[in-house]
Structure 1
Amino acid sequence: MNSDGEQNKQIKGTVRDENGEPLPGVTIVFQGTTQGTISDIDGNYSMIMPDDAEVLVFSFIGMMTQEVSIDGKEEVNVTMIQDYIGIEEVVAIGYGTTKKEDLVSSVAQVKAEIIENQPTVRVDQALQGRAAGVEVTSTSGVPGGNAVIRIRGTSSINGNNNPLYVIDGFIAGTDFNLNNLNVNDIESIEVLKDATALAIYGTRGASGVILITSKNGKNLAKGKTQVSVNQYLSYQQTANRIELADSKLYAEYRNEEAQFVPGPDGYGYTDSSLPLIFDDPASAPYTDWIDLVSQNGLINNTDVSITGNADKANYYISFNHFDQEGVVRASGIERFSLRTNLDFNLSDKFTTGVRLNISKFKKENNKVAYSQIVTAVLPIREVYTEDGSFTSTNPVSGSLQRNPEADIQMRVNHDLVTNIISNAYLEFKPVKDLVFRSSVGVELNYFKGNVYNPGALPERSAQGVGGYASIDTNQKQSILNENTVTYNLDLGDHNIKVLGGFTMQKISNESVSTAAEGFPNDVLEFNNLSFGSDPLLNQVGSGYNQRTFVSMLSRINYGYKGKYLLTLVGRRDGSSVFENGNKYAFFPSVGVAWNVYKEQFMEDFGSISMMKLRGSYGIVGEQGVNPYNSLAKFNSSATYFNETLVPAVLIGGLPSKDLTWETTKQWDFGVEMGFLNNRFGFEVDLYKKTTEDLLLARDLPGTAGGSQLQNVGSIENKGLEFSVHSVNISKSDFSWETTFTLSANRNKVLDLGGDDYINLNQPSNQGGAGLRLIPGEPAPVFVGATYLGTYKTEQEIIDDGRVGVSFLGGPRYVDLDGNSVINDEDKLPIGSPQPDFYGGLRNTLNYKGFTFDCFFQYSYGNEMYNLLTHVGWFGRGDQVLVPDVANRWVEGLNETSDVPRAGTSTSLFNPNSTALIEDASFIRLKSMSLGYNLPVKKLGIDNLFSRFNVYVAGNNLLLITNWTLGDPEVSNYGSNNLSQGVATGQYPYARTYTVGVKIDF
């Protein structure tokens, strides 16, 4: 029998970092138990030792976990070594977590400290350039605008290529609005990329999964409460402004055009229809419309949070107010959000908790048609008439046209969104290592869009049509129930972890849209639609859809000595959107990994501190169809019968009863390396994924009419991902870390169900032939003729057989078939919006309380379609011009220029061509910040503050690119799957300067 002294034997020690400094907050436990303590502010610890204690385990976030044998010692001192590449860090993998060293899958992680180094507005901004294999394109600078996220390329044509968002375990879908989240609430973001990681989400994960985990109080010391404040103010201005021709250049060009255009026997224009507009172009009135609608905007952000960790509970509660003015007048967004995260230990067997986020925002939509300003609102047009009223017409064509200043002052256009997302769970641990978990989650989203165009708007007043109002509402309800069981079996050298589960989710959307016109006055705006006096123009519509998912899932993780790892994943999904017989499908995957660095022979390679080889293969699905697409559809209509309008019903679409899942087969091979105690490390992934049974609309025989959605076609993505992290310098008062990512994806259409190509109907003013899907080419690809410049001599026109068709100074193209006609036969693939590679470079330096962070983002090899060149070089005289027309071909003055002479779009034949395609590669200084942590202890204010950080930051500070139309990321068609890379100049990006403070109490 042991004596009382032996039973109460104490063990103590001190924990220090590599620089010999005391390390507080280190967790010390006896191996195989939950008994332990945490080192104090001086790095010291002491605790009573159990009789059978043999090993102490020391762990700390960002440090390598150490296991130290007690071996009769009464004092154990430890030096913790920094885990520079995070092999000990816990990574979320979907329905669970694992240490990075035990990870078989390809998962990219962005941690809170990276997010907090910059005043990031949205989650997608935090991912841009920081996660290999994740392409994030901000297609508009509009406040609250969505970015386009593609993980390992485009996998579907008609389906949804957006990733699946999972927020604290709740499956929020691919259409979740990231404006609903406060970035400061986020603990980590994991991006699941390969089949082994994705298969656990089955048909929901074909385009990748983004796991967002919010903060909690469990990492805080027991009994401690912390209040944090993050307050910043930002100043914004337009970055990379689009430059347009001024009124003098426009008038000169217009005069030349009027003299050049052929008469009625040529192209229908006469000198009388195109008169000289100014005898003295220098005297033309000038309005800089871009400058008129622009402003310098402010951002005001306030975050307040309370974090606590008690014996039986931990919590994180936060409030956020975010208010942003846009760089275009009368645009902006204001958001309020509240988050409550609670966890309770009801007993040693039961744990429960809840994650609740409530957000409400108002988005002032851009009231100005910005693309119209850069294409159609002429510089010679004045804002006001002589009597002080707004101008209402194009001064050349005489047609009615919106007045941007009137739009800003008079139009009403805003969205109101309320979002509630909650997920509650209960865990039961009947025995050690066996966990039953059940959760119920709900998302409620209410959207209301209000629009009012007053009758006093100049173009409406001229027509006498009165005011127009519309109200659109949408209510989304999503209910998710998930039930899982996890068992961890530790047999010494063998470790097996088994997960099984059953999930159900129902998602419904109900929408109502109403509109009315003919308001006699503008007092009530959209608040009384019955006030609209024109019943023929009043409209009402509604819609409802519902989809249901039922799934069973399983995952088995096996490890031998931590060296050899195997993961098997399977999920059986059922979806209500398909007909009986196609509702269910099974999606499996397998992954293996070898921690080579744990092998005994690796002891001879002292500089290699980490080495892992891994590979995976699996199948995931995509249900790229809307509810009821498999059913026959009917549309309402009306026809006149005996001079009476009679309601009618028409067939709107034939049933597609054979529709089934799009399936993506993916393999991945990865290498992870660490050197010099993991101060330098890199990760490389090679992957290939092929998506089959693509959903495409197929034209039916004339007797059937219309088209039908069918599973035909396939698409391929293959690529390389490379990321490097290095700790260049690590001293007690100075450190320097570098992170670099590079991603290269090659996308290719394999089959279109027998079609040679599919036109994507963008750009629409080019007859839908600007973008195509072509087997063997990227999705999409620009097509057009090869532009040779301008005709310099009459002989060139004769040689091309274009006499009477083309003119000196007119555009010249390659005639591939030699028939003297430029048509579809002369068009080739001439570029793609898909980049050859993209990524980012981040450097972080710390010196005596100062932190400097600098991040560059880059993209190379992507092309853009410049519609402003189309308008400026080949457009009509009633459209805006670009400055380079100053170098146009002019007879007797500038006959060597390849910029076409002044002329209308009809006289200067202008098919899609290489003249409209530009290199859109870029390097951007995305963000830069400098912060300083005040020495609160030295200043004697540590009784008030545990941290007081002041910082300045800038975003979008520098852009290097050959692209001529503002910013190369800005696109006309937003998040459209296949119409990226087409631009006329949308809402511009902002350059932002920020000053802020972060305070912990």
Structure 2
Amino acid sequence: MKTLFKSTLFLLLLLPMSFFAQNVVSGNVTESATGLPIPGVNVIVKGTSNGTTTDFDGNYTLKDVKNEDVIVYSFLGFASQEIPFEGQSTIDVRLDEDQATLDEVVLIGYGATSEQDATGAVEKISTEQFNQGAVVAPEQLISGKSAGVQITPGGGAPGQGGTIRIRGGASLSASNDPLIVVDGVPLDQRGVQGSRNALNSINPNEIEDFTILKDAAATSIYGSRASNGVILITTKKGKKDSPFQFTYDVKASVGNITEKVDVLNADEFRELIENAPGTNPSLLGESNTDWQDEIYKTSVGAIHNLTATQGIGNFYYRANFNHTSETGVLKGDFYERNAFNIALNQDLLDNHLKLSLTSKNSLDKNEFADQGAIGSAVGFDPTQPIYDPNSPFGGYFEFTRQTNGGITQQNLATRNPVALLEQFDNGNQTRRSITNLNTEYKFHWLPELKAVVSAGFDYAEVRGGNFRPLASAANTSNIDQFQNYSGFNRNYLLDTYLNYKKEINLFETEVDLTAGHSYQEFYSYSNSIGTQQDQVVDFPESINRNTLESYFARASFDINDKYLISGSFRADGSSRVAPQNRWGYFPAASIGWKLHNEAFLADSKFVTKLKIRGGYGETGNYEIGRNYGYLGLYSPSQGGARYQFGNEFVSTLRPEEYDEDLKWESLINYNAGLDFGFFSNRISGSVDAYYRETKDLIATVPVPAGANLSDQLLTNVGTTVSRGIEVGLSGEIARSENFNWELNYNISFQDREITQLTLGDNPDFFIPQGGIGGGVGNTIQLWKEGYDPTTFFVFRQVYNDAGQPIEGAYVDVNGDNQITEADRQPYKKATPDYFMGLTNTMNYKNLDFSFTFRGSFGNYIYNNTQSSGGFIEAATNTPSDYYANVNANVLETGFQNAQYFSDYYLRGADFVKLDNVSLGYTIPGDAVDFRASLTASNVLTITNYEGLDPEVFGGIDNNFYPRSRRFVLGLNFIF
């Protein structure tokens, strides 16, 4: 009886609690069309922050659901569903594709359009397509991914940036870098003082997508800065009505060089010196030192990302902290980034007013190794030791000579490469913030019209210095050498524009109109103090300021969902250009025809998408090399450059040459394209053909004596023409619930030539280019009408019957029975005829695998490491008390003397690289989703080139910092 009483009392106590009991709902979300699960679907109780997301298999569990709650299921590309809760324990949902969002939105500059309505050459590369691994430089995410876009990695220094070329670039002396716009803020194309890469302040983990504008029809809205293409970078934002999510991602990496410059080892070098006439073998040492082994080491790195994101009603945010650190394979090289990124969004006034703030803030720390050690390691005597206890140079072995003042270094001798690294301290810190506040208001009385105001800034400041002690043999002065420097870059932006978008009944036309104004100011300052010769010098300050004011407009029409017409116009006024040339005008027009919406294709089960398009546009190049090249400027003398009046030394002002009519370069571009998709876009792609003509090219050319203040003048003299065909293909080979396989391939053909280079009519005129190591002032390339700007200028080598080059024997091109400068000929080029990229992506259930190949064909490299050190006198033609090592190529040629201008050193640089391989496995869980991955980069290079790497920007291989092969272990936790 007592037990019954207690049980009854317990139940009575629980009865009130039952009114507060909460329900748990679970289920599965799939595609209605295929039945495949959809991971990442937002499942949230309407009007609250109570929610979750589906796991990799589309499963979810939602707690604390009450009767009469409404559960909202939403995911990008699918129509949202709202289901009232009526006590069900299981709710399975099938989402329909939302045709309004299925056609992907792409940015086009001051606005957006759908992929099917774009009439220019525009390509979007999203997160799921990025290269994987410990990526530090953001541009490496898209290497090999886009037709017409070639990204050449820099050297192997940590944090080193790459060179981006869209359709080969359009200039000679001016910049060929594309304009990069980050969340609406155009970056200063001159870069950031003290930074290895201006893009490193953008955390690659936080990039949502890249949109690449290739032709002038797409880029002309950016006017005077768009001749080399435009890249729009969009960073990740929070999602509306999404539950709180915390992510921790870590990547640990190791890397080693895969190749070294082929030089003589100690035994081979001894044999060479002993057999060479007139040498003194007693000067050789007794060591066997591989100097390249001594300066390189294993590189290690780590990348940590901590991210929090949430949507609370009409407010949503994303916050990320990133720590990146990486040592270089060259001893003493180091890069570190600490970055905080935040994105805040607030919708107000029934979504008529949208406020967004994005801010990317970073602190970069660099330790720069002396890269001169790379060349020294190639040329230093391998029979000498690293250390010498009797050395006056900090205990390092150096080549010395006896003078009246005692033992001093040999001024012309190669320096000990280990000492160069260890007796040099060079570092800096760069703080940077890229911030933009964007306000978008849809008028209540006319919701088709919206006003956008975007205010942004890009501010960076640097402090750094370097030090080399008096004890270093590389210090040839009588005091410790140092330099301390500081500076900042400041970039302000204010964009205001109106956009009107409405479908009108006339011909069922959708009208999209935009007009606005832009103002941007660029300011930079730098100063430094340091030693020059044997004194401390306070160097002159450098201040640089310029402004750009612009007006722009665009009108686009989609008629009957078939016919597309678009036109844009921009007027740019720049303080860099003389008043009479200050304003530039940049029109563009393009058309498109969506054939897949025509009656004869509307019901096709084969053709999903078929669109033809064509466009014309004009753009300019703002980065012409000088800010005020049209003004007569006076430069103050520096350091010891002074004029003596008796016993007084007076600093001078030196007038500089100038061209009062200097103006920016201009480009005219024609583009025709075809976009297609078959079998529900399981096979899709595009083909583009273009013709570009750049006028008023900037070049430094000789001028008659007395015509200006110098015999060389930067002026507008040239014209180039480039043509190309680009093909991009994508195929879903397999698509099922458990197994998916996709291949993406692109190939680009290009041809570029200089069509005018002088204001006169001299057909033999050329401008030497491409400085090389060896001799003083030697060059190996040229600019000349009718040739590619990277063409080499060489003698044609003569070979014997055994196929070996004959020293000093060249083809007598002009038949005058003597070899003179007139027999040097333009021959081969560093620009590839075509390049390609191939990406494979596969996943089986929770396992994923991807790799990327890149290739380049038809390009040549001048092997300067061989030409400057591949002959016997490079070792023996030195002062009488030391010898230098030589390239092992001397064993093949037997050259006694330098043959710098022989085309023997021009080598085919075709290559195919397995650039990126990634294997990952995801383990979904109730509380934590976990993913582990293993990635390798720079995995394999297939080439006949004998040097370190066939991928050398500019085509001259000399003192190249080798890239490492890296292996990366990644762990990702989603809470």
Quickly name the TM-score band, shorter chain normalised.
0.7 to 0.9
1:39 and 1:231 map into 2 onto residues whose CA distance is 22
Q: Residue 228 of structure 2 corresponds to which residue in structure 1?
A: 207
Match of 2:657 among 653, 656, 660: 653
Q: Residue 126 of structure 1 corresponds to which residue in structure 2?
A: 141
Question: Residues 162 and 175 of structure 1 are in contact (CA less than 8 Å); yes or no, is this contact kept in structure 2?
Answer: no
Report the Cα offset of residue 224 of structure 1.
Answer: 1.1
Report the Cα offset of residue 605 of structure 1.
Answer: 4.0
Match of 1:816 among 813, 837, 859: 813
Question: Residues 292 and 378 of structure 2 are in contact (CA less than 8 Å); yes or no, is this contact kept in structure 1?
Answer: no
Report the Cα offset of residue 711 of structure 1.
Answer: 1.6
Alignment of 1:665 onto 2:647:
no
Match of 2:729 among 724, 728, 731: 724
Report the Cα offset of residue 357 of structure 1.
Answer: 0.8
Match of 1:313 among 312, 315, 319: 315
Report the Cα offset of residue 999 of structure 1.
Answer: 1.4
What is the DSSP-based 3-state SS (H/G/I as helix, E as strand, rest coil) of the residue aligned with 1:765? Answer: coil
Alignment of 1:924 onto 2:913:
yes
Name the amino acid aligned to 1:686. Answer: A
Superposed counterparts of 1:413-812, under 5 Å:
413-430=426-443, 431-460=446-475, 465-492=478-505, 493-516=508-531, 534-535=534-535, 538-603=537-602, 605-623=604-622, 624-637=624-637, 638-642=642-646, 644-654=648-658, 656-704=659-707, 705-706=709-710, 707-753=712-758, 754=760, 756-760=765-769, 762-763=771-772, 765=774, 767-789=777-799, 810-812=807-809
1:466 and 1:791 map into 2 onto residues whose CA distance is 58
Superposed counterparts of 1:85-124, under 5 Å:
88-115=103-130, 117-124=132-139
Moved more, 399-408 or 561-570: 399-408
* CA 768–338 in structure 1, closer or farther in 2 if over 3 Å, else same: same
Report the Cα offset of residue 652 of structure 1.
Answer: 1.9
Alignment of 1:367 onto 2:370:
yes
Report the Cα offset of residue 20 of structure 1.
Answer: 1.7
Question: Residues 965 and 985 of structure 1 are in contact (CA less than 8 Å); yes or no, is this contact kept in structure 2?
Answer: no
1:27 and 1:89 map into 2 onto residues whose CA distance is 20
* CA 650–256 in structure 1, closer or farther in 2 if over 3 Å, else same: same
1:884 and 1:981 map into 2 onto residues whose CA distance is 19
Report the Cα offset of residue 606 of structure 1.
Answer: 2.2
* CA 374–598 in structure 1, closer or farther in 2 if over 3 Å, else same: farther
Alignment size in residue pairs: 883
Superposed counterparts of 1:906-945, under 5 Å:
910-936=899-925, 942=926, 944-945=927-928
1:839 and 1:510 map into 2 onto residues whose CA distance is 41
2:532 and 2:369 map into 1 onto residues whose CA distance is 21
Match of 1:325 among 315, 321, 327: 327
What is the DSSP-based 3-state SS (H/G/I as helix, E as strand, rest coil) of the residue aligned with 2:370? Answer: coil
Moved more, 549-558 or 386-395: 386-395
Q: Deviations over 1:775-820 (max 9, x none)?
A: 1110121110111236999xx9xxxxxxxxxxx9634211223344
Report the Cα offset of residue 204 of structure 1.
Answer: 1.3
RMSD between aligned alpha carbons?
3.2
What is the DSSP-based 3-state SS (H/G/I as helix, E as strand, rest coil) of the residue aligned with 1:876? Answer: helix
1:158 and 1:872 map into 2 onto residues whose CA distance is 30
Report the Cα offset of residue 659 of structure 1.
Answer: 1.4
Moved more, 546-555 or 139-148: 139-148
Match of 1:228 among 240, 243, 247: 247
Report the Cα offset of residue 459 of structure 1.
Answer: 4.3
Moved more, 464-473 or 339-348: 464-473
Name the amino acid aligned to 1:784. Answer: V
* CA 39–606 in structure 1, closer or farther in 2 if over 3 Å, else same: farther
Name the amino acid aligned to 1:327. Answer: V
Q: Residue 396 of structure 2 corresponds to which residue in structure 1?
A: 390
Name the amino acid aligned to 1:783. Answer: F
Superposed counterparts of 1:979-990, under 5 Å:
980-990=954-964
2:768 and 2:74 map into 1 onto residues whose CA distance is 58
Report the Cα offset of residue 43 of structure 1.
Answer: 10
Q: Residue 146 of structure 1 corresponds to which residue in structure 2?
A: 161
Report the Cα offset of residue 21 of structure 1.
Answer: 3.8
With normalisation by structure 1, the TM-score equals 0.83
1:230 and 1:398 map into 2 onto residues whose CA distance is 51
Q: Residue 935 of structure 2 corresponds to which residue in structure 1?
A: 953
2:364 and 2:768 map into 1 onto residues whose CA distance is 38
* CA 153–66 in structure 1, closer or farther in 2 if over 3 Å, else same: farther
Name the amino acid aligned to 1:965. Answer: G
* CA 326–394 in structure 1, closer or farther in 2 if over 3 Å, else same: farther
What is the DSSP-based 3-state SS (H/G/I as helix, E as strand, rest coil) of the residue aligned with 2:913? Answer: strand
What is the DSSP-based 3-state SS (H/G/I as helix, E as strand, rest coil) of the residue aligned with 2:160? Answer: coil
Question: Residues 368 and 404 of structure 1 are in contact (CA less than 8 Å); yes or no, is this contact kept in structure 2?
Answer: no
* CA 575–962 in structure 1, closer or farther in 2 if over 3 Å, else same: same
1:337 and 1:394 map into 2 onto residues whose CA distance is 47
Question: Residues 375 and 879 of structure 1 are in contact (CA less than 8 Å); yes or no, is this contact kept in structure 2?
Answer: no
Q: Residue 380 of structure 2 corresponds to which residue in structure 1?
A: 377
Moved more, 114-123 or 769-778: 114-123
Report the Cα offset of residue 139 of structure 1.
Answer: 3.0
Question: Residues 470 and 513 of structure 1 are in contact (CA less than 8 Å); yes or no, is this contact kept in structure 2?
Answer: yes
* CA 420–39 in structure 1, closer or farther in 2 if over 3 Å, else same: closer
* CA 607–238 in structure 1, closer or farther in 2 if over 3 Å, else same: same
What is the DSSP-based 3-state SS (H/G/I as helix, E as strand, rest coil) of the residue aligned with 2:135? Answer: coil
1:640 and 1:928 map into 2 onto residues whose CA distance is 65
Report the Cα offset of residue 386 of structure 1.
Answer: 5.2
Q: Residue 72 of structure 1 corresponds to which residue in structure 2?
A: none
Q: Residue 894 of structure 1 corresponds to which residue in structure 2?
A: none
Report the Cα offset of residue 44 of structure 1.
Answer: 13
What is the DSSP-based 3-state SS (H/G/I as helix, E as strand, rest coil) of the residue aligned with 1:883? Answer: coil
Name the amino acid aligned to 1:646. Answer: V
Report the Cα offset of residue 610 of structure 1.
Answer: 0.9
Question: Residues 523 and 544 of structure 2 are in contact (CA less than 8 Å); yes or no, is this contact kept in structure 1?
Answer: yes
Question: Residues 377 and 394 of structure 1 are in contact (CA less than 8 Å); yes or no, is this contact kept in structure 2?
Answer: no
* CA 59–619 in structure 1, closer or farther in 2 if over 3 Å, else same: farther
1:92 and 1:544 map into 2 onto residues whose CA distance is 35
1:227 and 1:539 map into 2 onto residues whose CA distance is 50
Report the Cα offset of residue 202 of structure 1.
Answer: 0.5
Report the Cα offset of residue 631 of structure 1.
Answer: 0.4
Alignment of 1:847 onto 2:854:
no
Name the amino acid aligned to 1:675. Answer: F
What is the DSSP-based 3-state SS (H/G/I as helix, E as strand, rest coil) of the residue aligned with 1:366? Answer: coil
1:726 and 1:844 map into 2 onto residues whose CA distance is 11
Report the Cα offset of residue 334 of structure 1.
Answer: 0.6
2:215 and 2:748 map into 1 onto residues whose CA distance is 14
2:696 and 2:207 map into 1 onto residues whose CA distance is 37
Question: Residues 87 and 101 of structure 1 are in contact (CA less than 8 Å); yes or no, is this contact kept in structure 2?
Answer: no
Question: Residues 791 and 812 of structure 1 are in contact (CA less than 8 Å); yes or no, is this contact kept in structure 2?
Answer: no
Match of 1:992 among 962, 966, 973: 966
* CA 43–850 in structure 1, closer or farther in 2 if over 3 Å, else same: closer
Question: Residues 15 and 44 of structure 1 are in contact (CA less than 8 Å); yes or no, is this contact kept in structure 2?
Answer: no
Name the amino acid aligned to 1:774. Answer: K
What is the DSSP-based 3-state SS (H/G/I as helix, E as strand, rest coil) of the residue aligned with 2:774? Answer: helix
1:661 and 1:635 map into 2 onto residues whose CA distance is 23
* CA 826–855 in structure 1, closer or farther in 2 if over 3 Å, else same: same
Report the Cα offset of residue 15 of structure 1.
Answer: 5.9
What is the DSSP-based 3-state SS (H/G/I as helix, E as strand, rest coil) of the residue aligned with 2:549? Answer: strand
Superposed counterparts of 1:827-842, under 5 Å:
827-842=824-839
Moved more, 709-718 or 544-553: 709-718
Name the amino acid aligned to 2:297. Answer: Q
Q: Residue 34 of structure 1 corresponds to which residue in structure 2?
A: none
Report the Cα offset of residue 60 of structure 1.
Answer: 4.9
Match of 1:158 among 173, 176, 189: 173
Tell me, which stretches of 5 or more residues in structure 2 are unaligned?
1-27, 44-50, 66-71, 82-90, 192-197, 402-408, 876-882
Report the Cα offset of residue 641 of structure 1.
Answer: 3.0
Alignment of 1:356 onto 2:362:
no
* CA 490–885 in structure 1, closer or farther in 2 if over 3 Å, else same: same
